[in-house]
Amino acid sequence: MVGLKFHLPGLNWAIPIGISFFTFQALGYLWDVYYKRQQAERDFLTYALFVSFFPSILSGPINKASLIIPQLKAIRPYFDYKEAVEGLKMILWGMFMKVVVADRLGLYVDTVLPNYMNYTGTSCFVASVLYTIQIYADFAGYSLMALGVGKTLGFELTENFRRPYFAVSVTDFWRRWHISLSTWLKDYIYIPLGGNRCSRVKNYWNIFVTFLISGIWHGANWTFIVWGCLHGLFQIAEKILHQQRCNYGRFGKAVKITVTFMLVNFAWVFFRMPSLSDAYRVIQRMFDFSLPMAVYIDLIPNLPFTVFGITLLFIKDYRDEFCPERLPLMNNKRTYIRWATYLSLTASILLTGVLGSDQFIYANF
Amino acid sequence: MRKFIAKIGLFFVLMVIIDFAVGIGMRYTTARIAQGGVARDNYICNTVADDVLIFGSSRAEHHYNAQMISDSLGLSCYNCGESGCGIILAYGRLLMLLERHKPKVVIYEITPGYDYLLGGDNHKFLYRLKQHYERKGIDSIFWNVDATERFKMLSWMYRYNSSFLQNIVAAYLHISTDTGIKGFRPMVTPFDSLKVRDIQTFYEDEDSFQYDPLKMSYFNRFLDKTAAIKTFFVASPIWYGMNTAVFKPIKEICEQRNIPFLDFSNDPKYVHNSTYFADGNHLNAVGADEFTRDLIHKLKKLECPR
């Protein structure tokens, strides 16, 4: 594997077509109309607004026509105070996730992974874990901001993330990660292929093909294809071993969450590295125990801010997942607590956010 | 709608008050710092009045023993090099410095990646300049790097973005890095082979180099400002050696402006000689002293003012 160059010229034809959020949204509409799940839209402006609705055009979520078109046509109140406030809260937390967590982690990840030859396996492993968190904070942060903008304007968009790293299996992960894409793939690829209403082997094949297409959607590179295939294979293995759900109590759940996180983390290495050989070398380095166990730590000024961002994100996601009624801050009954939260989050963004010229990771897809 | 707009307005008013209060507090805190990077930065921008000034990246900061230069040339010397920084910061610092003092000699350590090659985010070069945003000519550097900085810098908190914690620790807990000896911060660590990169990454062909027009423009502005000052460009030793094709644009500028370019990057005395290095890019204290001696020897030959 090492020393070979992996190019995928055969897929470059797909680039001009633009396998993107925009195309998937339009394709979904086309199939819905074809299969008579959705009436054809006769008003061109309404259709044009649906496919090019500005908050979601760059990086999703991929909205279904059945969700958006009725909202565009409905007579709605001119302004909904509650919705607008909810929308602004989503934008604020989304921005925190993006600039305080994701972009700060990016400083470490972008130092270590492109130059993995200079760093120990432990540093590469830490960088891969941080990338796993970075891509979540980046993409979920963007999606939350898109949803928030929509909500402020009075539109409900598709929920895209539901705390994916608390998933108990890779199958569960895909119910929580990029929900609009996995729903699209399920509705327009997996189910038309036969879904699970077929033989067991055919079902496994359907899962594999669905995630192979998911990989191809992300880019014309073998790394994305391997990433998609890995996710397909993990889910097939879970299905064979009946490990899609968790029936092991609290400790078992914690173990399953950790195992799922590590599997997803392993697959992200392929997603992040520019070529298969690079991904292979990074993994090889992680498991090279002859290297010292030292971790590169960028102490000043990144470490405290990295810890701060990750801790706050973890607490928020943990609370939302396991005890949503406890410790409400942005939704507290007391005005001063709500306002203190808004102000301190904004201050954190200004003081600890990485406000450079970083692009959203998923803007590339 | 009216209630919504009123609350948004109130939020902005409160945020502006907090922003201003934090900004004033941080300005006071920063002024109290007596040691470390911030103190060194304040000294360079507000106080330094030495005859020989050294600019450049960490390779300048760790390679040029200012005391040795001072003793040998009979001129006072200060090392203004800054880790991770290149021509954009150097130009800003020079601008502030020239407001009150004109040095006799400027030595600039060339680090192609930071000084003229394309790549990376130029925002990082603004880090040390944020606190001097109001000084003459500094604001336009921000705007040239990124037009949105004009708006971001309206926030006082943003000026201390990522540095506020370090500043508080340095000012009140007195924990900070060494300010150095006349700005020179020698690396005393032994050679770390883990920090030696794959040599192939350094040997690219001439055509593969891409130049950053913004950095190049600041390079020329820097030279315009030092036109009446004796200036030397230096490429100090590097463990790997260097593909000299990367210096092509600098050599051309030096020829046009009649500026000496002293290239030690492939000096066999240093290349792959681990006794002189702390890592692949940086000389250790022994190497720095040896290199400074070699540099002084060359400077004397080139009729450097004394």
The answer on pLDDT for B199 being more than 90 is no
| Mean pLDDT of all residues in B125-148 | 92
| Mean pLDDT of all residues in A213-225 | 89
Question: Do residue B124 and residue A85 have CB atoms under 8 angstroms apart?
Answer: no
The answer on pLDDT for A11 being more than 70 is no
Q: What is the pLDDT of residue B13?
A: 97
Mean pLDDT rounded to a whole number for chain A: 88
B241-265 per-position pLDDT tens digit: 888 888 988 899 999 999 999 999 9
Nearest to B195 among A84, A118, A347 (CB): A118
Q: What is the pLDDT of residue B21?
A: 97
The answer on pLDDT for B202 being more than 60 is no
**Residue A13 at interface with chain B, using a CB cutoff of 8 Å:** no
Q: What is the pLDDT of residue B242?
A: 85
A61-103 per-position pLDDT tens digit: 899 999 999 998 887 777 889 999 999 999 999 999 999 999 9
For A119-199, where are the alpha helices, taking DSSP H only?
Answer: 121-152, 170-176, 179-185, 191-193
Q: A8-22, A160-174, B117-131, B271-285: lowest mean pLDDT where?
A: A8-22
Note the ipTM here. Answer: 0.83
Q: What is the pLDDT of residue B17?
A: 97
Q: What is the pLDDT of residue B209?
A: 83
**Residue A292 at interface with chain B, using a CB cutoff of 8 Å:** yes
Q: Tally the C-alpha atoms within 13 A of residue A147's C-alpha that lie toward its C-beta.
A: 22
Nearest to B157 among A79, A84, A351 (CB): A351
B contacts of A348 (beta carbons < 8 Å): none
The answer on pLDDT for A204 being more than 60 is yes
Q: What is the pLDDT of residue B206?
A: 62
Nearest to B152 among A81, A346, A355 (CB): A355
Mean pLDDT rounded to a whole number for chain B: 89
For chain A, how long is the longest CA-to-CA vector?
67
Can you say whether the dihedral through the CA atoms of A316, A320, A322, A325 is positive or negative? positive
Q: How far apart are the first and last CA of chain B?
A: 73
B260-278 per-position pLDDT tens digit: 999 999 999 999 888 999 8
Query: How would residue A8 be classed by pLDDT, with cut points 50, 70 and 90?
Result: low
Angstrom distance (rounded) from CA B32 to CA B163: 14
| Mean pLDDT of all residues in B144-170 | 91
Determine what percent of chain A is predicted with pLDDT higher than 70: 91
Q: What is the pLDDT of residue A7?
A: 52
Backbone angles phi, psi at A35, to 5 degrees: -85, 10
- What's the pTM? 0.86
Which active-site residues of A does the annotation give?
Answer: 218
